[in-house]
């Protein structure tokens, strides 16, 4: 009897998948939108689902298949998505007509997952606007100045560690993630942590689990994509109760202590405490949680890939070193003087062009919107509320139409003399429009400070284990070199 029930359920599910799969195809065909059929059940993300390809590789295959289209269809399991390829349309969706696309795609409702869905990242409409207005003052230049000493202190921990491991082949990813972990712990929570000494601290252990999606997390994402109503009823969370309870506890105890002892620190929790509004415990925890999650992973990714590219390009490294050396001879590193490191900014921007953690800017249509025809002689496309679009980021960054010789690492693309040649909305590593990353300024400071200190102290050397050319590790959304980023740090004379 049980066997028959299992067979029935499998048959029903497969039938449903094939029906949904066919529906998506018909939907695009009826609207004269080109698409790659993909594989039943998996759509265009078979490689991603089976972790034989990176998600970016699956998206690039669809993007590259139709070079003359302004937008094309993308089949994500049984979900239909419109990939926007045209920079002018991306500008309309993310900036000019933002009121039609105010929201990110909903993975979880605030009722089902109050911390993740209740964060600024996934908030919707007026609630998002109110929260963005509340949080924006926490990321102004004056506030960032107060956080700089905390970042500098953590960067010195890295330099001391590398001094003790000179000329060893080192896997950079682990070291850099410990740096971003400690910076966020300090600048976000007021906690002094040295993860290079206390290697198994709970803060770091929690951070490493957030984006290390196992089978359970993948199944939850699939369930939310294919059966969102069922997923809501079942109340699945993307992250574990242990993770959420850790952040709830650390936020509540920190606030209680500071109020009781009248402690004032220049960090994220203090800035939120001083915001002109009353917070619920979950609201406060949600914002701190997403600040940690985003800062831990995306800043680390940018730093690791920058170090990898520098190891592969000694000429770039020498030019960067000369800039940093001149700067140190003339002045101290301060918040204001960071902006004078022009070539460093070019190097970071070029890394973010090739290896942006963003991949795409997702938006959900909230009011009926008419897209122009995808090609000359075609028909307009009507987006309805709830329809999802992916405004391309990495694919545009690597399109030779906008960035000649895109596989080459050329920081000069972003120099004062050349950056005017970059077409608007073809470069967006932090997103774009009103929903651009609120922590962008903080991330750039965090990256520049450590890079400055490393370059002044060490020559980053390619080893036999350094991957060249870089290929992505075939997993989920994280941007990582397939074989890791291995380099040597040789002390400069």
Annotated binding site for heme: 437
Alpha carbons 117 and 231: distance in angstroms, whole number? 14
- Residue 302, classed as helix, strand or coil, is helix
Per the annotation, binding residues are 437
Burial class of residue 421 in the structure, from the number of CB atoms within 10 Å of its CB (0-12 exposed, 13-18 middle, 19+ buried): exposed
Contacts of 84 (CB under 8 A, 6+ apart): 70, 71, 90, 93, 389, 390, 391, 392
8 Å CB contact between 443 and 437: yes
The dihedral over CA atoms of 203, 108, 440, 332, expressed in degrees to the nearest 10, equals -10
According to DSSP, the β-strands at 381-383 and 170-171 are unpaired
HSE-up of 184 (CA within 13 Å, CB side)? Answer: 28
Alpha helices in 164-212 (DSSP H): 172-189, 202-210
Report the chain's C-alpha Rg in angstroms. Answer: 23
Alpha carbons 370 and 203: distance in angstroms, whole number? 47
Alpha carbons 56 and 450: distance in angstroms, whole number? 28
Question: What does the block give as tokens for 340?
Answer: 């004078």
DSSP H or E stretch at residue 361: strand 360-364
The CA angle 475-480-483, to the nearest 5 degrees, is: 90
Alpha carbons 408 and 323: distance in angstroms, whole number? 22
- For tokens 């596989």, what's the residue? 407
According to DSSP, the β-strands at 79-84 and 71-76 are antiparallel
DSSP 8-state secondary structure symbol assigned to residue 429: B
Alpha carbons 205 and 216: distance in angstroms, whole number? 18
The sign of the dihedral angle between the CA atoms of 383, 384, 388, 391 is: positive
Question: What does the block give as tokens for 36?
Answer: 């790659």
If you count them, how many residues does the chain have?
493
- Residue 358, classed as helix, strand or coil, is coil
Contacts of 61 (CB under 8 A, 6+ apart): 36, 44
- Residue 171, classed as helix, strand or coil, is strand
């Amino acid at each position: 009897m049980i066997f028959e029930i299992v067979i029935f359920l499998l048959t029903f599910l497969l039938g449903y998948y094939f029906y949904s799969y066919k529906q998506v195809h018909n939907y695009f065909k009826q609207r004269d939108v080109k698409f790659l059929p993909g594989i039943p059940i998996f759509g265009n993300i078979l490689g991603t689902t089976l972790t034989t390809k990176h998600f970016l590789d699956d998206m690039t295959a669809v993007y590259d298949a139709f070079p003359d289209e302004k937008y094309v269809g993308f089949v994500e399991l049984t979900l239909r998505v419109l990939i926007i390829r045209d920079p002018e349309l991306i500008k309309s969706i993310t900036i000019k007509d933002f009121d039609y696309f105010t929201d990110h795609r909903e993975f979880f409702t605030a009722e089902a997952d109050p911390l993740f869905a209740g964060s600024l990242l996934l908030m919707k409409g007026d609630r998002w606007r109110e929260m963005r207005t509340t949080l924006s003052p926490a990321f102004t230049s004056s506030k960032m100045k107060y956080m700089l000493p905390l970042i500098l202190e953590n960067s010195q921990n890295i330099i001391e560690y590398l001094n003790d491991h000179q000329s060893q082949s080192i896997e950079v990813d682990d070291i850099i993630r410990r740096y971003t972990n400690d910076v966020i712990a300090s600048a976000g929570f007021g906690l002094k942590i040295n993860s290079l000494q206390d290697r198994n601290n709970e803060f770091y252990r929690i951070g490493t689990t957030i984006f290390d999606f196992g089978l359970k997390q993948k199944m939850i994402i699939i369930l939310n994509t294919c059966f969102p109503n069922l997923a809501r009823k079942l109340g699945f969370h993307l992250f574990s109760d242990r993770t959420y309870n850790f952040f709830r506890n650390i936020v509540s105890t920190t606030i209680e202590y500071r109020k009781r002892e009248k402690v004032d620190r220049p960090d994220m929790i203090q800035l939120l405490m001083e915001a002109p509004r009353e917070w619920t415990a979950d609201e406060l925890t949600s914002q701190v949680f997403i600040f940690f999650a985003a800062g831990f992973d995306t800043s680390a990714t940018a730093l690791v890939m920058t170090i990898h590219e520098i190891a592969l390009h000694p000429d770039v490294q020498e030019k960067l070193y000369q800039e940093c050396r001149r700067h140190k001879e003339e002045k101290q590193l301060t918040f204001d003087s960071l902006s004078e490191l022009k070539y460093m900014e070019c190097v970071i921007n070029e890394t973010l062009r090739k290896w942006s953690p963003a991949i795409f800017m997702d938006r959900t249509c909230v009011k009926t919107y008419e897209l122009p025809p995808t090609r000359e002689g075609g028909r307009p496309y009507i987006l309805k509320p709830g329809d999802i679009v992916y405004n391309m980021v990495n694919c545009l960054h690597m399109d030779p139409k906008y960035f000649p010789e895109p596989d080459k690492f050329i920081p000069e693309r972003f120099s004062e003399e050349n950056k005017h040649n970059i077409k608007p909305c073809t470069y967006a590593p932090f997103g774009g429009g009103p929903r651009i990353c609120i922590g962008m300024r903080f991330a750039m400071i965090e990256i520049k400070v450590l890079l400055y200190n490393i370059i002044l102290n060490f020559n980053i050397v390619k080893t036999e284990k350094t991957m060249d050319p870089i290929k992505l590790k075939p997993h989920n959304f994280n941007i990582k070199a397939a074989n890791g980023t291995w380099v040597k740090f040789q002390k400069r004379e």
